[in-house]
Amino acid sequence: MDKTREITVDEFPAFCRAHGLKCTAQRLAVFAAVRMSTEHPSVDATWAAVRKQVPTITRESVYRILNEFAALGILSRLDALPAARYDTWLGPHAHFVCEKCGKVIDYPLPDGMALPKGMPAERHHVELRVSGLCDACRGKSKLQTNQKRR
C-alpha cells in the first residue's frame, strides 16, 4: 500500500477486524478525517476535524489513535518537527518543511535517486527532507523588508 486512501472508509471496519482492533466510532472518525489529507496533519488539526463528528473525543485519544495507525502502517509519522505530523503518502518521497508556517509539502523523489552505498539492507523508511521558507512565506518576508526600507 502506497497511500492511506487505498483503504476506503467502508473497508475500514474489516481492516480493524483483521488487525484485532475494534472499529470504534473514535477510530473511524480519525481515519475518515485523515485518509484523504495531503496536509501532513498534526494532532491538533486532526482533533479539530474529528470533534465535529465526535464532540466528546479528547486530544489524548486522537494522539493515541494516530500513533496506533502509524504502528499499523496506515499512516507514517514524521518526527523531528516541532510537533508530530502524520503522512498519508506511505512510500518514499521528499518533503519541503517551511520553518515559518510549518507547512509540509510532498514531492516525488528524483528519478533514479540512489541511496548511499553500504547502507544496511533492511530499510524501512526513506525520506529526503529540505527545510526553508515556502513561497508564500518568502513573499511575505520580502514585503516586510521592502516596507522597512521605506
Residues that bind Zn ion (CB under 5 A): 87, 89, 98, 100-101, 103, 106, 134, 137
d(CA 67, CA 120): 26
d(CA 112, CA 50): 39
Q: Are 69 and 26 in contact (CB under 8 A)?
A: no
**CB of residue 94 vs Zn ion: minimum separation in angstroms?**
8
**CB of residue 100 vs Zn ion: minimum separation in angstroms?**
5
**CB of residue 38 vs Zn ion: minimum separation in angstroms?**
8
d(CA 150, CA 146): 7
Q: How far apart are the first and last CA of the chain?
A: 54
**Nearest CB to Zn ion, comparing residues 17 and 132:** 132
**CB of residue 12 vs Zn ion: minimum separation in angstroms?**
21
For residue 76, CA distances in Å to 85, 126, 148 come to 9, 11, 42
**Nearest CB to Zn ion, comparing residues 3 and 51:** 3
**Nearest CB to Zn ion, comparing residues 13 and 102:** 102
**Nearest CB to Zn ion, comparing residues 66 and 87:** 87
